[in-house]
Amino acid sequence: MRTQDSIIYLDQLEYQQLQSFLGHGPLTSAKYVFMGREEGLGDAGGNNEESVHKRLRWYNELQDCLGHLRQGNNPKWSDGFFIEKPEATVREVVKSLTMYFQAYAKLVLDSNFTKVKKEISMGMLKKCMVDTLHVSSGNTAMTELYPLPKQGKLLYRVEGESWNEYKRARDSWENNINNRRQLLNHLYNKYSVPVTICYAGVEEGNFIAKNFFDNLKFDFTRCTTGIVPEKLKGKVNPSPKPKDIMLGERNSPLGHQQRVILTPFWGNGQMSYDDINVAMAWAVS
């Protein structure tokens, strides 16, 4: 990795390694997998170079805390790796606004919708984020659809690639069967992954992650946070300002029943607590 004129340059091997980092928590056994669009890199005090360099170091420095997607006698980073035991590290997970929403969703789901909104205090959210969210013995994990943050947050180039902006980089990822896409496909085809809560967002009226799940043969139904699933009516109230969401379902090649809920981005006021309550109801009903 080198930096020139405030732009970070990665060689192909470094880029492949970053593509192979899949997230935090027990990804292969979690009941609920949260999927975002890309990492925010809100750590390292705004030092983008240090944030990227830290991710390149993780594989060597956190060996005792890692899990591997393709498990063998001598797994490599190219087999897909994730921080399975973030509680054993100095909490490398960045505590972002979206993680507060993840903690909120976890508490709602774990309470079977008996605790929502006012019943969940900021203290409960903070405790969840530190003690139970994405820990090795827990029921949640998190991953990202794309391997690197958008260019507005990180100016980078990859040696040998012709793209020099976020959209072209993302289009390249979408249109090529690359290492990360193969790894994510392997996650859904090999492991149970019962419920995925995908807040990658909407662009030009389309859910950003839908193409990925379409390729895995999920069947989608349009829903809204203004309507609560029948079996949870009375426990969950419809959102007063409904948002469009989508529910996808499939049976995996190994017979696992899998669901994904696609929502707008969990930030910038796009999803309220009421919206999240209803989205979680659709995810599990």
pLDDT in tens, 94-126: 567 888 999 999 999 999 999 998 899 999 999
- Which pLDDT value is given to residue 138? 95
Tell which residue, 180, 209, 144, has the closest CA to residue 69: 180
- Which pLDDT value is given to residue 44? 46
Measure the CA–CA gap between 35 and 141, rounded to whole angstroms.
Answer: 9
Residues 228, 154 share a domain: no
- Which pLDDT value is given to residue 272? 95
Pair 33, 140: CB distance under 8 Å:
yes
Question: 2-21 as b/e, with b when 16 or more CB fall inside 10 Å?
Answer: eeeeeebebeeebbbbbbbb
Residues 98, 84 share a domain: no
- Which pLDDT value is given to residue 261? 98
Residues 285, 153 share a domain: no
Residues 199, 63 share a domain: no
- Which pLDDT value is given to residue 155? 65
DSSP string, the chain: -EEETTEEEE-HHHHHHHHHEEEES-TTT-SEEEEESS-----GGG-HHHHHHHHHHHHHH-GGGEEESS--SS--GGG-EEES-GGGTT--S---HHHHHHHHHHHHHHTTTSS-GGGS-HHHHHHHHHHTTT-TTSSEEEEESSSS--TTT--EEETT----SHHHHHHHHHHS--HHHHHHHHHHHHS---EEEE---EETTEETTHHHHHHTT-EEEEEETTS--GGGBTTBPPPSS--EEEEEEEE-TT--EEEEEE-S-SSTTSS-HHHHHHHHHHHH-
- Which pLDDT value is given to residue 49? 78
Residues 123, 48 share a domain: no
- Which pLDDT value is given to residue 94? 54
- Which pLDDT value is given to residue 228? 97
What is this structure's pTM? 0.92
Range of the domain at 64: 1-27+39-91+142-179
Question: 111-123 as b/e, with b when 16 or more CB fall inside 10 Å?
Answer: eebebbeeebeee
The answer to the question of residue 187 being in a domain is: no
Domain endpoint, select from 179, 204, 237: 179
All residue ranges of the chain with pLDDT < 70 are: 40-46, 89-95, 148-155, 163-166, 173-177
Tell which residue, 227, 229, 230, 218, has the closest CA to residue 262: 218
Residues 231, 154 share a domain: no
How far is C-alpha 65 from the geometric centre of its chain's CA atoms? 19
Tally the domains of the chain.
2
Residues 199, 74 share a domain: no
- Which pLDDT value is given to residue 175? 67
Domain endpoint, select from 121, 155, 179: 179
- Which pLDDT value is given to residue 222? 97
Measure the CA–CA gap between 227 and 232, rounded to whole angstroms.
Answer: 10
